[in-house]
Structure 1
Amino acid sequence: GYTPPTTPITNKADKDAYEHNSKAFNAIIEGLGKLELGKVMCCKSAKEAWDKLEVLYE
């Protein structure tokens, strides 16, 4: 699931990207049941989680 950054984020662009990914990932997992949640918690990004769900439910 969630992997905190190993080094502090000092760059504004990186900080913004990190925050956007966190918000998107939270939005995705809030709408999932236990079965689906278990399938995406290992994903490291919202995009990866979305792609996995897309393949599972095509």
Structure 2
Amino acid sequence: TDVTPTPEPVPVRPLFACTHERYRWLMHHPDARTDADSAWLRDYRRGEEYADLKDLYAAEGIE
């Protein structure tokens, strides 16, 4: 019997309708982030939209 664990599949990256959907997906799928995603996250967290939604993200546990 083969007991070799199978790796978890990388989630399929969806098309995002808005930036907060992208943020949520990236926060829930850190292993799927690219270098470009990491740069985007840094910029997003400095912006007004993030400031406006920060409490919501905190409530969701994805701050």
* TM-score, scaled to structure 2: 0.32
Structure with the largest fraction of helix? 1
Higher-RCO chain (CA-CA 8 Å, sequence separation at least 6):
1
State TM-score, norm by structure 1.
0.34
Larger radius of gyration: 2
